[in-house]
Amino acid sequence: MRLPRTGRGRLALVLALVAAVVVFTATVPLLRDWFDLRVYYGTVDSWLHHDGRIYDYRVPGTTYGFTYPPFAAVVMLPMALMDLHVAIAVALLLNLVALAFVLRVLAGRAWRRHGWYGVALVLCGLALFEPLRDTFSFGQVNILLLALVLLDCWLLSTGRERWAGVGIGLAAAIKLTPAAFIGLLLVARRWRAAAVATTVAAAATALAVWVAPGASRFYWTHAMWDTTRVGRLDYVSNQSLQGILARLDVTDREVWAVVVLAVLGVWVARTRRAVVAGDWTAAFALTGLTACLVSPITWVHHLVWLLPSFAVLVRSGRRRVAAALYAVLCTSVVWLWFDDASGVDGFLGSNTYAWITLGLLFWLPVGQSASERSTLPRVTSDTAPAPIPAAPAIAQASAQPGASPSGVTAATTGTVAGPGLGLARKPSSDPTGSTRPAAPNPQSSSSPASS
């Protein structure tokens, strides 16, 4: 099937795709009603205006409360000065800006070549990506954290290493998962950047200790170690290694530790290869994949960390592979096993997203040198190709130092996934996976608060 080449045809295609996205979003019951944002908002509002404790707050009628480190609550304090609807609007705007920055980092300058038409196709595809849909619909912070981390990726890949580590440090202080990227800096032997990231994370944590000493003490001595506060490990949304084992009813922590160590070994070997070749995008992509796998709980919306991997696949010419995997991640297929993940079909189907993550860790193309990345085939344009210059002119151009035959890199998501299978998810009162009842004792007690 050929894509339209006229302006009118392209506009018609974009309008049709927008209509399909709207219909899909409106008919598939996957909207989350800003639930996590309401957790954030209620927590800081209770803390600032009602003398409440950060980890005691619960969304009315639920057992859900704040689960991030105290510094995240400090960062979110401005929300307490807004109406909830204003906070939702601000969160949407921040997520859109962060997404634009993520796409700019991953696509490089290639986005300019595709113009409004290419950007519109990419945005339609992104609107169908389940982790991204859930991030926006929950009011989550995943895209903001990804943007902070990719800021350091951009600094390292462009030789601006003086401030590298600041983004990772801030992200790690807000949520624990991005701390994996400090490990990347250590594996890459970027000692200064690793020290900056660690210092920034420690300073932000110290600020939170000063602002909320009681909450900090409770979090770092108790809540951090209690994974049951966040949710059930066997809940189908948990697409981590721990989630796979939990759905197999394997509760032995030693088994999980062995699997995690094996995955970390693969990550170290592949990341070193990427770093040696100067392929920072692949190194960051591999680290995002690994963080999702080794984290005890990786909800579906956490899988926005897979976006850099799709950029690497497109850049390396694996567009069909990228399109196929991306399409699966638009289908919500894992929710078919919401009620029962037993049997062979349950083992394979309920862990579909985890299998994709694991497969990308093993087979993501890495280690391309800068010159190899710059010689990727150019996307066919509508205009006739420019005449080939005479041989002497070619020789003269190629003799210039640092000249590249193409200088073009692939766009972040050069393919557009269809609107998925439209699988209806069973309505649930368990938006983040926890069925654990509220803790009977407050934050200051020895019993954990429920998430």
| 425-444 as b/e: b if 16+ CB within 10 A | eeeeeebbbbeeeebeeebe
How confident is residue 149, by pLDDT bands cut at 50, 70 and 90?
A: very high
Give domain status of residue 402, yes or no.
Answer: no
Contact 37, 139 (CB under 8 A): yes
**Separation CA 242–CA 248 (nearest Å):** 10
Neighbours of 189 (CB within 10 A): 10
**pLDDT score recorded for residue 391:** 38
Average pLDDT, integer, range 242-263: 94
Give domain status of residue 404, yes or no.
Answer: no
Burial class (CB in 10 A: 0-12, 13-18, 19+), 353: buried
Give domain status of residue 99, yes or no.
Answer: yes
| Structural domain of 182 | 7-376
How confident is residue 74, by pLDDT bands cut at 50, 70 and 90?
A: very high
How confident is residue 380, by pLDDT bands cut at 50, 70 and 90?
A: very low
Give domain status of residue 400, yes or no.
Answer: no
What is the per-residue pLDDT across 41-56, written as a single tens digit (0 to 9) for each? 999 999 989 888 999 8
What does pTM read for this prediction?
A: 0.80
How confident is residue 403, by pLDDT bands cut at 50, 70 and 90?
A: very low
Give domain status of residue 438, yes or no.
Answer: no
Domain tally, the chain: 1
169, 141, 101, 70: which is closest to 302 by C-alpha?
A: 141
Give domain status of residue 186, yes or no.
Answer: yes
Residue labelled with tokens 């005479």? 390
Give domain status of residue 394, yes or no.
Answer: no
Give domain status of residue 113, yes or no.
Answer: yes
Cite the DSSP H helix spans in 278-318: 280-294, 307-315
